Amino acid sequence: MPTRLATVFGGTGFIGRHLVQHLASRGWRVRVAVRDPDGAGFLRPLGDVSQVVPVFAEITDEASTRAAVEGAQWVFNAVGILTEHGRSNFENIHLIGARNVATAAKAAGAKTLVHISAVGADSQSASAYARSKAAGEAAVRAAFPDAVILRPSVVFGPEDDFINRFASLSSFSPVLPVFVTDGHLFPSGQTGDCPLFGTGGTKLQPVYVGDVAGAALAAASSPDHAGKTFELGGPQVVSLKQLLELILATIGRRRLLIPLPLSVARLQALLMRVLPNPPLTTDQVKLLAKDNVVGQGVPGLADLGVVPTALESIIPGYLGRFRNPYAPVT
């Protein structure tokens, strides 16, 4: 039986479940700290009998957070939200929760804490999401100075909510929006071609979820990484337009791409606020105004010994359900 113990907060989430799988495959006992342990039962088969154990913990509650990290050598915080709902808001989850986990891990004597943040975390950002991520990083650093912070770009994989969302939309919608910041502009002094898409919208550096999980384990494995921040991006930078074109080519569908300025996207988000789970929020529109790519000279996957995985090698394996049945097989 394995004797090493790791606690994963947010283990039922997209990144968290892959992290649990990676830990279990390497012989770790994994305590999955979640609000609904019964709902996390699907994680148990990722390990041997009693190797993966879901336990109750609410990261905004100090007592349950302390109990969840007791005896753990490694602690991972993979909890994050993209939209706010009631008490599940950016401040509670990204700041207060992150601080509680870091404080509890330090008090429990954990050797390593890996905190998963996001590319674009910035205390001066117009986006509340990005500001809360930056505040969470600062709180983690204050409570656990040797913590390793990982900032992934847009994460893709079988359960992602980004590639899958656009593929699903393309299965019934004849048009797809490309939110642009510099489109609809005539070149200076010219009256000819109008570059409707500008540079193609927000630039992204999609990173495979398996690479993020691998990076988290690599970060925890060496004391050389203590106290460092790593930005994780895939091997290619693509515009939103290029990404949509890749998705359409993968699933064999032809759709009209429509350039929409962010002002229109902001109006759409305002109208969608009445929906219980809006597909676009005004805060997300603010995020789209800035490229989501790793910074130059910032340590990344290569520094953690992880070879980045290309989009083209992964997405065909999980977008099959959206494929046009009449498209020719290539």
pLDDT, tens digit, 9 for 90 and up, residues 273-296: 878 788 889 999 999 999 999 999
pLDDT score at 96: 98
Tokens representing 95? Answer: 């700041």
Q: Are residues 149 and 281 in the same domain?
A: no
pLDDT score at 285: 92
Q: DSSP letter for 94, please.
A: I
Q: Are residues 128 and 83 in the same domain?
A: yes
Amino acid at 294: V
What's the structural domain count of the chain? 2
pLDDT score at 271: 86
Q: Are residues 184 and 251 in the same domain?
A: yes
Q: Are residues 126 and 196 in the same domain?
A: no
Q: Are residues 46 and 113 in the same domain?
A: yes
Question: Looking at the domain assignment, is residue 21 inside a domain?
Answer: yes
CA angle 322, 324, 328 (to 5 degrees): 135
Whether the Cβ atoms of residue 262 and residue 230 lie closer than 8 Å to each other: no
pLDDT score at 154: 97
Give pTM, 2 decimals.
0.93
Question: Looking at the domain assignment, is residue 330 inside a domain?
Answer: no
Tokens representing 104? Answer: 């509890």
Structural domain range at position 196: 163-202+238-290+318-322
pLDDT score at 188: 44
d(CA 186, CA 193): 7
Q: Which residues contact 111 (CB under 8 A, 6 or more apart)?
A: 73, 74
pLDDT, tens digit, 9 for 90 and up, residues 8-54: 999 999 999 999 999 999 999 999 999 999 999 999 999 999 999 99
Q: Which residues contact 104 (CB under 8 A, 6 or more apart)?
A: 62, 65, 66, 68, 69
pLDDT score at 183: 61
Q: Are residues 222 and 105 in the same domain?
A: yes
pLDDT score at 186: 44
Residue in the structure block whose two tokens are 């994460």: 155
Q: What is the β-pairing status of strands 238-239 and 203-204?
A: antiparallel
The radius of gyration computed from the CA coordinates of the chain, to the nearest angstrom, equals 21
Question: Looking at the domain assignment, is residue 328 inside a domain?
Answer: no
Instruction: Identify the segments of the chain with pLDDT beneath 50.
Output: 1-2, 185-193
Question: Looking at the domain assignment, is residue 329 inside a domain?
Answer: no
Question: Looking at the domain assignment, is residue 94 inside a domain?
Answer: yes
Start-to-end CA distance of the chain, whole Å, equals: 47
CA nearest neighbour of 127 among 227, 236, 266, 313 = 266
Question: Looking at the domain assignment, is residue 186 inside a domain?
Answer: yes
* CATH number assigned to the domain comprising residue 213: 3.40.50.720
